[in-house]
Amino acid sequence: MSADRSSGGGVSRRQLFGVLGAGAAGAVVGAAGGAGVALAATGGGTTDASGAAASVYPYFGAHQAGIVTPAQDRLHFAAFDVADALDREGLIGLLTEWTDAAARLSQGLEVAEGGAVGGSDYSPPTDTGEALGLPASGLTITFGFGPGLFTDESGADRFGLSARRPAMLEPLPRFQGDALVPEMSGGDLCIQACADDPQVAVHAIRNLSRIAFGRASLRWSQLGFGRTSSTSTTQATPRNLFGFKDGTANVKAEETAIVDDHVWVHASDEPAWLAGGSYLVARRIRMIIENWDRVQLGEQEMLVGRSKGEGAPLSGGTEFTEPDFDKTGATDAPLIDADAHVRLAHPTSNGGARMLRRGYNFVDGNDSLGRLDAGLFFLSFQRSPQQFIDVQTSLARDGLNEYLKHVGSAIFAVPGGVAEGEFVGQALFA
Ligand code: HEM
């Protein structure tokens, strides 16, 4: 491993400004390095002195961070197109530099030692500097490979990778109601940066984009300001912009057998280079919230299939009670409507399919009609894209659709975790 790739070297933003206590800064635990069961299950982050939320997650481990890691509050997601002139060696070079930078950034370090202000007065700084003084803030950086990396639009095998393309890594089929905008869809590469401080997430994407200059350019990007799911039983369930608790029945990191079955690609799955990885689906779902806000509370709850306050299934109980889809009310009609979102999305309606949801709320200004450009940037990780396809197909008659518009869509193969001295996705090039 090169000294540059070390996540421990150099002067960190924390050391420079002493934001975190020495205990927190020094206690980074590797996911594969003997962390306790709870830490390993949730990605092995450190906790601060008060035992509150983890704030530094190891970059290296069996799986990439940012999947089962307890969902942070903020997101900056970016999809890239590779440059026409890029060749295989250039792509490997980019992934190597991205890996080095991601390993440092996620530990609260600058892109390079002395990056922002320690270099020559006569050259541009190698770190843009806006995260100086900020702690790691739970930053995770997760890389993914889109279908176009394996075979481009003209069918060309630019990087000698087409024989290694996962058979399932195809652009998603067209779903009923899709109103996709090409400028918000697709991409050859993606980076998901999640943190508890928006400036830290933006700093990561900005600097990684800068490193890619001339090799890959931003195709589209998305900021998320509030998580819409919990990925750990230690987290409270947040709310989406419809005002409902979201993430109640999500796959949680602590459910290791379910995560293993439904989220991670196995060595026995094809292709073997993706073992320990996952498939990431991104959907930019616009919510027509002005219309939604005129819907009566009872109807809102019927459309979702859960109560708005507690988040309990309409069949009764509390938030974490399993829905009873057979239970009927006074009129013999099911208490959870036939077209309710939770019924159609439930594993029992989809041959047992589950997924780990990790989406974010967004508001990107407003449109010319004075409506907020708001919605849910849906992100899910699954062992096979088919799991998402099955659920999204079943949601064709979801009552919520009247208030939703899917405008962006993308799929990526997310390679497994990175070992020290490797670059992300190295097994693909072996
Ligand atoms: C803006 C669009 C969406 C909204 C507002 C929304 C909202 C919700 C809410 C409130 C719940 C109940 C709480 C929970 O268990 O998390 C839920 C559950 C769920 N949603 Fe969505 N959702 C949206 C889109 C999607 C999409 C696109 C998918 C996948 C194709 C999906 C899959 C699921 C699944 C799998 C569950 C759990 C069902 C269960 O096991 O009970 N949702 N969603």
Place of tokens 């530099």: 97
Find the 273 Cα to ligand 1 centroid distance in Å. 31
Q: Compute the CA torsion angle 213, 215, 220, 224 (nearest 10 deg).
A: -60
Find the 195 Cα to ligand 1 centroid distance in Å. 23
Q: Is the CB of 246 under 6 A from ligand 1?
A: yes
Q: Is the CB of 79 under 6 A from ligand 1?
A: no
Q: Is the CB of 202 under 6 A from ligand 1?
A: no
User: Which residue among 222, 318, 341, 386 is best mutated to probe the pocket of ligand 1, counting the most ligand atoms within 8 A of its Cβ?
Assistant: 341
Q: What's the pLDDT tens digit per position in 76-102?
A: 999 999 999 999 999 999 999 999 999
Specify the ligand 1 atom closest to the Cα of 353.
35
Find the 429 Cα to ligand 1 centroid distance in Å. 36
DSSP secondary structure of 326-359: T-B-TTSSBSS-TT-HHHHHSGGGTTT---EE--
Per-residue model confidence (pLDDT) at position 152: 87
Per-residue model confidence (pLDDT) at position 33: 27
Helix (H, G, I), strand (E, B), or coil: what is residue 141?
strand
- Report which of 329, 327, 330 is spatially closest to residue 343, judged by C-alpha positions: 327
Q: Is the CB of 283 under 6 A from ligand 1?
A: yes
181 and 209 in contact (C-beta within 8 Å)?
A: no
Per-residue model confidence (pLDDT) at position 45: 54
Per-residue model confidence (pLDDT) at position 110: 97
User: Which residue among 262, 342, 363, 395 is best mutated to probe the pocket of ligand 1, counting the most ligand atoms within 8 A of its Cβ?
Assistant: 342
Q: Taking the chain (430 residues) in consecutive chunks of 10 residues, what is each chunk's mean pLDDT? A: 33 38 32 30 46 73 98 98 96 98 97 94 96 96 98 91 96 96 97 98 98 98 97 97 98 98 95 97 97 98 98 98 96 96 98 98 95 97 98 97 98 98 97
Backbone angles phi, psi at 298, to 5 degrees: -60, -40
Retrieve residue 350's tokens: 């989809």
- The per-residue b/e assignment along 14-47, b for 16 or more CB within 10 angstroms, e otherwise, is beeeebbeeebbeebbbbeeebeeebbbbbbbbe
How far apart (Å, rounded) are the C-alpha atoms in residues 291 and 276?
Answer: 42
Q: Is the CB of 392 under 6 A from ligand 1?
A: yes
Place of tokens 């090799």: 215
Find the 178 Cα to ligand 1 centroid distance in Å. 17
Please report how many Cα atoms fall inside a 13 Å half-sphere around the Cα of residue 328, on the Cβ side.
4
